[in-house]
A and B are shown apart, each in its own frame.
Chain A
Amino acid sequence: MTSEKTPTYELPSPEETFVEIECCSRTKTGETACGDDFRSVRIADEGRHIAVLSDGLGSGIKASLLSNMTTTMALEFVRRNMEIVQSAEIIMDTLPVCEYRKISYATFTVFDLLPGGLTRVVEMDNPPFIHLRNGHDLKWPADILFSERWPDRKLAISKFRMVQGDRLIAFSDGVTQAGLGSDACKFGWRREGALAYIQKLVDADPLISARELSERVVAEACTKNPQHRCIDDISCLVIYLRKPRRLRLLTGPPFNQEDDRDFAETVLNFDGHTIICGGTTANLVARELGRSISTDLKLIKYCGGLPPPSKLPGVDLVTEGILTLTECVRRLESGEYRDAPLPVSNIITFLLESDVIEFIVGTKVNEAHQDPRLPVDLEIRRNIIKKMSGILEDKYRKKVMIQYF
């Protein structure tokens, strides 16, 4: 048998730009559904990325419905290059009319990123977006379009070119109006306040990820409100054009023992982080590279019933394999990973902070796992990785490739 070593597609060259798109939302305190909605798509064959943030009128289920319909339609219309005023009219015609307010309404911001950095932004009534380059908020002239049928609605359309290192930031008014009426910010945090905070964060950490930046902005907005409650739905969408952050995750020993050396060497001279999930795998790499593994048993109490992580020089993280990966998949699937056991949260942090993830999967079957005393749901490694890569691609917008050994 020959091992399949061809990547499923070419990895981007180091100079290539990765478009990281992340949105953090918090639901208004007391509501069960978030009235803001975010949706994005990566159209690989066109090299295009589209992201939409919408804020539905009011809060709760009704607002959630309005914003969900808006993001769904906006994304689809933009993707099909439909005329934008007509698209906005269809959205407004379609949204159900609020029984109290007698209007149908949801704001939106659409970011449409084309290959080569050409970018189009369509805004309707959200706080104006921020285009951050080297810490400066760039201002672009916008075309203002009106709908004949909805004269009170106006669309602002701006076009410009982005370069690596640029960020686009959009938020719902839950951010700009945070703290409204309080002594500290009588008119709310406002765009200026949020911008200054973002500039401070980027200045302190010029490579801060879109994920972290969006989370920090939302968290800071909450602190402006009395008792840090969400007095409105609060969302922040960040797009960051960056050099891809790479992660290589090794799991499982190679099918043929003669490939052990090649397999182990994949952790050497790699421009990114490396993780090994699997004790046997870690031992093999340690043996081939002449290094030794150490395990700190003091960490057990943070491991929530999983084996503790280990250390191997030159590798960023070593954990047990199947059990830990299975728990990772479960957590990534549900999105509830904040209180995950130590080894799981370590892996998930690396995964989410990376743009391009390479799984190097050894396919040798661990005979010991066939012991009938073991639970039947002890998954086969290849299945776990297949499932995990699907979730990372679909839900977390990562570029994933799997290489089998």
Chain B
Amino acid sequence: MGNGSKLKVEICLGTTCFILGASELQDLAQYLEPELLDRVDIIGRTCLGFCKDRKFDGAPFVRLDESIVIERATVARVTEKIKAMLKEKDAE
């Protein structure tokens, strides 16, 4: 993998997510502080399928470390969550 220690940030670029905000999220790298940016691996994804799952509240979706799904994601919410997860990782 090479990026084993980095936090994986997957941005859904499916039609629904894209219209509802992923078009901004795809520029996430521009908004992150350099020290955060170094610790994440941002990846664009074709539809992750969460929009078809009633369990979730709404697009756009971002997935962190293949487990945490952020609903109605915004740059601010994703950044906040990344910070929290990195803090947890550091504490481990």
Contacts and interface: CB of A to CB of B under 8 A. Distances in A.
Interface of A: 278-280, 282-283, 293, 295-297, 300, 305-308, 310, 318, 320-323, 366-369, 371, 373-375, 378
B32 interface: no
Given A300-B26, A373-B58, A295 B19 contact: no
Main secondary structure of the interface of B (DSSP, over half): mixed
B59 to A, nearest CB: 7
Interface string B12-49: 01111011101100110100000000000011111101
A52 B13 CA distance: 46
Interface of B: 11, 13-16, 18-20, 22-23, 26-27, 29, 42-47, 49, 51-52, 58-59
Contacts of A318: 46
Given A279-B46, A280-B47, A318-B46, A297 B15 contact: no
B9 to A, nearest CB: 10
Contacts, number: 84
Nearest to B26: A300
Contact of B44 (A280, A306, A308, A366): A308
Nearest to A301: B27
13 contacts: A278-B47, A279-B46, A280-B14, A280-B49, A283-B47, A293-B45, A307-B26, A308-B44, A310-B44, A366-B15, A366-B52, A371-B16, A378-B15
Contact of B59 (A296, A322, A368): A368
Contact of A297 (B14, B18, B44): B44
Given A297-B26, A300-B26, A368 B44 contact: no
Contacts of B11: 297
A295 B26 CA distance: 11
Contacts of A306: 18
A374 B44 contact: no
A368 B14 CA distance: 10
Given A371-B58, A371-B59, A373-B58, A322 B15 contact: yes
A367 B52 contact: yes
